[in-house]
Structure 1
Amino acid sequence: MELHIVIEGRKDLAGQVYRQLSDAIRSGRLADGQQLPPSRLLAEQLGLSRKTVSEAYSRLTLDQLVVGRVGAGSFVQAPAAPRRGSLAPAVHSGLASADIVRKWDSMATPLRHPLPEGRSRYEFIGGCATPGHFPMDEWRRCVTHALRQDPALRGRYSEAEGLPVLREAIARHIAFARGVACTPVNVVVTNGAQQALDLLGRVLLEPGCAVAVEDPGYPAARGLFASQGAQVVGIPLDAEGMLVERIPDGTRLIYVTPAHQFPLGIPMSVARRRALLARARDIGAIIVEDDYDSEFRYEGRPADSLQSMDKHGIVVFVGTFSKVMLPELRLGYMVLPDALLNAVLTVKHLTDWHTGTMNQHALAKFIGDGHLQKHIRRCHGIYALRRERLQALFATLLAPWFELVPAEAGFHLAALCKREVDIDLLIRLARRADVGLYSLANFYADQPPQQGLFLGYGAIDTLDIEPALTRVRDILVEMD
């Protein structure tokens, strides 16, 4: 593959090579550590003398944009990139879409995970699974199996709804684990749960129509529906879940997390689930049931999913493998009522054709061979120990300041303040002590926020919980 350099005329040849390589390195088109062609080879490709190219390389070396390694060659040494967020994005004043670009620039993304250099030693970030416990050898064998599948179809696009073998595996898994009543026909494979929400919004929403979401709730769902032009209405909660009577007439879509409310963790009561189904039917709304992490249940009897209680085809069940496996796989799914299936598949086809088939084949094998259930059981034991440790320490070490909200499932907990605490200051001081804490206030929109902490325990080892919370206790004592 030839390096893309264009030589014009016969003047300042070394300068032309130097400037184009310098621009390519500074803009990022040539990546840090990438090897440049030997000067002799590049000279032949460009029809120049080797001396000309060597002169350009020497100038790049003086600028510290290229480094030479004896016996290996010349390599790009890109200048350090500015940290994300350190510079305000510039929008060209004459751009017709400038206002829209600024709207996206200003949108809050509280759940965006920090870059590795921004993470603390002790991280209580939510939604992050434990990668060290993932059965990588088993997954590798499943990927090898995937590489051998459908050689006749290789190089062609696939079905928008997903591979039949994976849809069948998902239907069996959620029927067993969550009591979802469906056939593979109603299962659509997506690039994570977030794409499922995006597809549903595109099908069901128009600018100005109402969407009801829990408040506090999942900011990425709220922001997504708002970006599609919907009027997003935050519905407050009580101990049984969303206050159904507060859902306004004319609402098109109702987004809920009934098994393990995000972020408080409370389950929606059976009576409230029935009331929600009745309210949605009365106003003609579709309920989106986001079942993001309920595979991990520690106490109490599992409640029926809303989808299994639905007699009228008004519930879409959304799930993801990001929490039980690895988020980088970007594999999720939804179970659709018949009335929405064709419309959603049309939108899926138009927006991305289909989800990557290699990972679909691998996941189908992973589920079919029992590896998923084994992995869930293994992680369940690990998370149960971490949850117990958090509960014990918040009942003793941090009891003067916080009280945990009871939760039966998932791998995060919410801690509410029992007395006045400057949460923002606590988070800043904890970060200096290498402890990553997160505020509950980030999840409120229309309702007055309760002061407290959102504590994910997927990314922190069990043995690290006590030293981390001891540091938090010491900070709180200093703040008092």
Structure 2
Amino acid sequence: MVPVFPFDFTLPRDTGGLAQALHRVLRDAVLDGRLPAGSPLPSTRTAAQALGLSRNTVVAAYDLLVAEGYVLPRSGARSVVAPIATRRAGSKAAGGSSVLTQAWQTERIVPLWRAPQMGPDAARTLPERNFRLGVPDHRPFPHAVWRRLTARSLREWSRSPFGYPPTEGLPALREAIAKHLGFSRAVACEARDVVVTSGAQQAFDLLARLLVTPGRTQVAVEEPGYPPLRAAFAAAGAVLVPVPVDDEGLRVDQLPDTVRVVSVTPSHQSPTGAALSLHRRAALLDWARARHAVILEDDYDGEFRFGARPLDALQTLDRDGIVFYIGTFSKCMFPSLRKGFVVSPPWARDALLAVKHCADSHCDTITQSALAAFIHEGHLARHVRRMRALYAARRQVLLEGLQRELAAWLRPIPSEAGLHMAARIVDTAHTDAIVNAMRRCLPGAQTSAEYSMASGPPWALSFGYGTVDAEAIVPALRRMRRALQVQGGS
């Protein structure tokens, strides 16, 4: 090919026609500045001979450039490149976007998300059996039962008219959830109080939209606390107010009077595992009642309780309609189910449905139907009983192992529920050594700093026992002890 353009190129011949391919090459050259404004194009005859194309092909490509405004025709003379803004090839940054384009794109992103504190779980490469928080064991799940119920749901769906299911969720599922909550958590509600969501995370997002006036509404969050909840409320424009927690849960005495929404995990604090004591539950309800505030009760893994009778849910104790109760099936079943719910006070139900309809008109029908049958037929209750015994054994091994192997470095925080427990660092002078040993020996375990809004060193570690086998826990703790002894962290 004889060069007739001021740059080299190979014309692709399998992309929808030669004229279109030549048009794309020349258009990109104009945009990149390789064909500067005012420069003449070779005649169609010259270009056709040099490129080995028919003249009609080149004429068609030039005509497209003229029609789009990239080239200006001139009577009796060669066409010239139009004076348009170009993106100079030399200004391109890594990834193919120009520096100018990158700056413009960054400005369009809300500041909260430019460098998010909480992003997708950085898919750390973890062994299948690990100490990650909030992940249930998939092996004992009744997979055959779930396949049968899903197949039945699919058959029933295929025989029904296509249409949009109710925004609030299928009636059968809402009824099943209400009965399940009454039996398992003594939560007093009816089906009409339940709004089905795509996991607890959507519930947080909907409540943030419902309750937050951007820049004005102050929302109290636990410190440390669950980062995705904070992100949902921060994105809605809430003023986040961190409130410390201790071994009795949220420090109610440190709630500012200006707060109008309080988010709390009373059954199993995330990430410390502490339970909100009974007198603090009563104090929190009194505090909210006196200030016309509302409470978001996140009961994310309350089905798994060990030891003494559990404390009543805040929603159970509420007599004034100030508690939104949030639950999920991610822990008691499996995360990819993506089903959660909100039990709403009557006064907020219609508004919450309006928000849900705007954000996500409905959840999918097939899994809703299968889940309703799973609950109604007793499979969920049986699965929870089976898993409670399994998790209780792992929890006990972990607790005893921490007390025996790592007592010099860690003190377990009292906890009798859920899929994880935490331990305080005894001597903060050894924090770095303890965290380094944890990273190497207990994959998936996390520090309090990963859940905290404030910068600073961690003061506690959290260990999940949802997927790790009981017989693997003590060897892992012993490896951590030996690592600390080698590092001199004692």
Matched, 1:379 2:379: no
Structure 1's 239 and 467: CA in aligned 2 closer, same or farther, altered over 3 A?
closer
Q: Distance in 2 between matches of 1:319 and 1:199?
A: 14
Note the C-alpha offset of 1:278: 1.2
Correspondence for 2:152 among 140, 145, 148: 145
Matched, 1:479 2:487: yes
Structure 1's 260 and 473: CA in aligned 2 closer, same or farther, altered over 3 A?
same
Matches within 5 A, 1:11-26: none
Q: Distance in 2 between matches of 1:240 and 1:422?
A: 26
Correspondence for 2:468 among 454, 460, 467: 460
Q: Is the 8 A contact 2:305 2:418 kept in 1?
A: yes
Q: Is the 8 A contact 1:169 1:368 kept in 2?
A: yes
Q: Is the 8 A contact 1:241 1:267 kept in 2?
A: yes
Q: Distance in 2 between matches of 1:303 and 1:241?
A: 13
Structure 1's 157 and 97: CA in aligned 2 closer, same or farther, altered over 3 A?
farther
Residue identity opposite 2:358 in structure 1: L
Note the C-alpha offset of 1:387: 0.6
Query: Which residue is equivalent to 2:67?
Result: none
Q: Is the 8 A contact 2:195 2:341 kept in 1?
A: yes
Note the C-alpha offset of 1:299: 0.8
Query: Which residue is equivalent to 1:350?
Result: 358
Q: Is the 8 A contact 2:247 2:414 kept in 1?
A: no
Q: Is the 8 A contact 2:209 2:236 kept in 1?
A: yes
Partner SS, residue 230 of structure 2: helix
Note the C-alpha offset of 1:153: 4.0
Query: Which residue is equivalent to 1:440?
Result: 448
Count residues in correspondence: 404
Matches within 5 A, 1:328-347: 328-347=336-355
Q: Distance in 2 between matches of 1:396 and 1:337?
A: 46
Matched, 1:104 2:113: yes
Q: Distance in 2 between matches of 1:262 and 1:123?
A: 18
Correspondence for 2:271 among 254, 257, 263: 263
List alignment gaps of at least 5 residues for structure 2: 1-13, 26-93
Matched, 1:315 2:323: yes
Query: Which residue is equivalent to 2:84?
Result: none
List alignment gaps of at least 5 residues for structure 1: 17-85
Query: Which residue is equivalent to 1:134?
Result: 141
Residue identity opposite 1:470 in structure 2: R
Matched, 1:415 2:436: no
Larger Rg: 2
Partner SS, residue 322 of structure 1: coil
Identity %, equivalent residues: 41
Matched, 1:193 2:215: no
Residue identity opposite 2:417 in structure 1: A
Structure 1's 435 and 152: CA in aligned 2 closer, same or farther, altered over 3 A?
closer
Task: Output the TM-score relative to the length of structure 2.
Answer: 0.77
Q: Distance in 2 between matches of 1:267 and 1:282?
A: 23
Query: Which residue is equivalent to 1:165?
Result: 172
Note the C-alpha offset of 1:423: 4.2
Q: Is the 8 A contact 1:213 1:255 kept in 2?
A: yes
Q: Is the 8 A contact 1:129 1:325 kept in 2?
A: yes
Q: Is the 8 A contact 1:193 1:332 kept in 2?
A: yes
Note the C-alpha offset of 1:324: 0.4
Task: List per-residue Cα deviations over 1:64-87 (Å, max 9, x = no partner).
Answer: xxxxxxxxxxxxxxxxxxxxxx99
Q: Distance in 1 between matches of 2:432 and 2:102?
A: 35
Matches within 5 A, 1:16-95: 92-95=101-104
Note the C-alpha offset of 1:421: 5.5
**More moved, 248-257 vs 396-405:** 248-257
Note the C-alpha offset of 1:252: 2.2
Q: Distance in 2 between matches of 1:203 and 1:389?
A: 43
Task: List per-residue Cα deviations over 1:195-219 (Å, max 9, x = no partner).
Answer: 1111011011011210011112111
Note the C-alpha offset of 1:401: 0.9
Structure 1's 155 and 195: CA in aligned 2 closer, same or farther, altered over 3 A?
same
**More moved, 350-359 vs 447-456:** 447-456
Structure 1's 364 and 181: CA in aligned 2 closer, same or farther, altered over 3 A?
same
Partner SS, residue 436 of structure 1: coil
Partner SS, residue 395 of structure 1: helix
Q: Is the 8 A contact 2:212 2:236 kept in 1?
A: yes
Q: Is the 8 A contact 1:242 1:268 kept in 2?
A: yes
